[in-house]
Amino acid sequence: MTGPGRRSATLAEPDPARREPTRPREITGTTRLYAVVGDPVEQVQAPMLVNPVFTEAGLDAVLVPVHARPRDFPTVLAGLCAMANLDGILITIPHKVAAAELADVRSPAARISGSANALRREPDGRWLADNFDGAGFVRGLARAGHRVAGARVHLAGAGGAGSAIAVALLEAGCADLALHDPDTARSGELLGRLEPPWPGRASAAAATPAREVDLIVNATPLGLRPADPLPFDPAALPAGCVVADIIMKPARTRLLRAAAERGLPTHPGIHMLAEQVDLYRAFFGLPDTR
């Protein structure tokens, strides 16, 4: 991203399980700003991953959470984009679809998925939207040793993150993708966008898998709050099915605990974010000096 007075920064991929708290740098009039926008924002992990990296690298930059309710999101986004000392915007629940719609330009991933989780200012002043949720999710699965190529996948959720994950799973060569969302219009629109590049590979599904499945993914917000119901019943899953959740806080959601109690392998949401750090660095044009 370009911007008046922008300073180069380097994002190294931190280990969220081992990183010790780091004292933040003093905020001054020269501090460059990054924002992560969502509703709610209490669960966001990006500031805890990125700000210690800024501090350790001696960068005068900070990533802050911005709480924007859906009705206010267009106004908040327009205000952020107008800030001359803002170098990047990350987007989380539930604004990813709206962010893609409001951006001036969309990457292929943002266009096919219909959602965005990162925005940058182009040299001509327009804002480009991209989505790294799917790529980060698939990278996280690979790093954990979970196979995607040839896998039979059930995906719960066709919202901002779910749509990006659907694209990435198909790109990674999953055998077929069964998609469920209570909003059948939304899931139908996503299936329509997935059909041209991957004909016959994605289809609508019921909430509970009706066939053998190798990987099942919760890409819904269910699990953010203690009282949330489970997005699907792990008891109905075959032995060996990997249960993945994109919820990052709590780290071990009710779904993952229930799946583990039934002896199923689980995959928590933090990996999706941790694997995106390199992608963000490339997107924002930040040098890799590691």
- Which positions are annotated as active-site residues? 96
Question: Alpha helices of 12-156 — where are they, by DSSP H?
Answer: 46-56, 73-81, 96-102, 108-113, 133-143
Which runs of consecutive H residues, i.e. helices, occur in 22-102?
46-56, 73-81, 96-102
127 phi/psi in degrees, rounded to 5: -105, 125
CA angle at residue 62 from 57 to 65, to 5 degrees?
A: 140
Edge-to-edge strand ranges of the sheet holding 127-130: 61-67, 32-38, 86-91, 118-121, 127-130, 105-106
Q: Residue 71 — left, alpha, or beta (φ > 0 → left; ψ -120 to 50 → alpha)?
A: alpha
